[in-house]
Structure 1
Amino acid sequence: MAELEDFATLDFTRAQRRGYPEAVLCQGKTVGQVAQIAAAFRDRADGVVLFTRATPAHADAILGELPEALHDDDSRLVIWPSAPPSPTGGLVVVVSAGTSDLPVAREALLSAQYLGRPTALVVDVGVAGLHRVLARLELLRSARVLIVAAGMDGALPSVVAGLVSAPVIALPTSVGYGASFGGVAALLSMLNSCSPGVGVVNIDNGYGAGHLAAQIAAPVPPG
């Protein structure tokens, strides 16, 4: 571990303990704090480091310390190093109900990809046009695990779970009009899914969904 003044204790051995590295939530941190954290990882870390919820100012600070990092503006992720590891394990398919859900879906997709899993993205297949989901059944059924991101009524994860044998991680987004209550309506719909095999993460938590999917789809140890 490494302490940075009085604001952070970095966990450099998490990958050895858990198989997955520490991620840094930039939200709530100052630009200076994020820059110091990035510099510390540059000098000490092995493997991938994900900086989540990065504003443009956060991203600039990280890139100042880690110029070879990848900045994906849509998902608000900064990832170092920029090249993903060679994929192993089962396929993670990320499904985005609408284009408006895509930033959260991309956070999930890139998180799973940079944690070492093969990934695929299916976009704009919400329940207003169910034929769009049915047209992608072959890909959906090839997944070891699926992440389904949806706002509004949050119905898509239940639909997908009724069509596939793999577990479904339901990812509610804050997309929607007034009575969606910033994603609470989608969250409650997903928690009340009648389709078995659906687990739910928090609103807009693409990183958490991607991490869980990477663990579920991890290679099976020999023996």
Structure 2
Amino acid sequence: MKSSEVNFDYERSARTGLDEVVFAAGKSVDQIAYIVEAAVARQVRLLITRLAPAQFEALPEAHRARLDYCAVSSTARLGATAPLTRAPRIALLAAGTSDIPVAREAERTLRYYGEAIELFADIGVAGLWRLTERIDAIRLYPVLIVVAGMDAALPTVVAGLTHSALIAVPTSVGYGVAAGGHTALNAILASCSPGIATVNIDNGFGAACAALRIVHMMDRAVAQVAIASGEASPLSEES
């Protein structure tokens, strides 16, 4: 491949708090291999999303050995995850087991950045008791990512039962008029529970990034209060 095909943004984290992540769908194996090689040469971490098993298997053996690959979420990580420094403050809710691949994409993205999460799986509203018996635990988390296909009723119900910031992820799971996730997306957009934010269909990565922006600002707010009260210095906030 030509090196001009890739112009990676290594400085994005300094501007936004989020690294540039490699979206593997549509990329050739040579392009992916080139990006991995460049990251290794610069000794930087890398997260790859939508990396199909066939793409991963076609990479050179040395590249595969360096990558922590998850076939369920179609994600790969180069380098270590950021260390976990606190208890989970983001909960990840999956309506059905069929929604797990999208939920795992969100989980792997959050883990890459050092955020622990609590997963509540298979709690869709078709068996409402599965949600209600866990709702007290769910309410403890300030940020929720709710993943649901079919009619995507779960985000609306959860938003009506919690105070938390809620990011919905419609999935392409469902028969017929589910229309590859469009019905789920429209249901969330038309929700009667106010304050739900949503990302695109199957976009677990995007939901994780939205959650990260929220908790990063939570951290900044705490740091600024500590500085104002004299409990910390501006230098300690930057470090």
TM-score (norm 1): 0.92
**Displacement of 1:84:** 4.2
User: Which structure is higher in RCO with an 8 Å CA cutoff and minimum separation 6?
Assistant: 1
- Higher Rg: 2
For residue 175 of structure 1, give the secondary structure of its aligned residue in structure 2.
Answer: coil
Q: Select 2:100's aligned residue among 86, 99, 102.
A: 102
1:59 matched to 2:59: no
Residue aligning to 1:146: 144
Aligned residue identity for 2:47: L
Residue aligning to 1:86: 84
Residue aligning to 1:40: 38
Whole-Å separation in 2 of the counterparts to 1:128 and 1:99: 13
Q: Please identify, of 88-97 and 71-80, the stretch whose mean Cα deviation from structure 2 is larger.
A: 88-97
Whole-Å separation in 1 of the counterparts to 2:85 and 2:68: 18
1:45–1:11 Cα change, 3 Å: farther
Whole-Å separation in 2 of the counterparts to 1:9 and 1:79: 19
Q: Select 1:175's aligned residue among 173, 176, 190.
A: 173
**Displacement of 1:187:** 0.2
Q: Please identify, of 150-159 and 130-139, the stretch whose mean Cα deviation from structure 2 is larger.
A: 130-139
**Displacement of 1:89:** 7.9
Structure 1 stretches of 4+ with a deviation exceeding 4 A read none
How big is the alpha-carbon RMSD for the aligned residues of Structure 1 and Structure 2?
1.9
For residue 162 of structure 2, give the secondary structure of its aligned residue in structure 1.
Answer: coil
Whole-Å separation in 2 of the counterparts to 1:199 and 1:63: 41
Q: Please identify, of 191-200 and 174-183, the stretch whose mean Cα deviation from structure 2 is larger.
A: 191-200
Alignment of 1:1-223 (within 5 A): 5-46=3-44, 48-60=45-57, 61=59, 64-65=62-63, 67-88=65-86, 91-218=89-216, 219-221=218-220, 222-223=223-224
1:210–1:175 Cα change, 3 Å: same
What is the total number of aligned residue pairs between the two structures? 220
Whole-Å separation in 2 of the counterparts to 1:217 and 1:123: 22
Segments of structure 2 that go 5 or more residues without pairing to the other structure are: 225-239
Higher helix share: 2
1:169–1:215 Cα change, 3 Å: same
Aligned-pair identity in percent equals 41
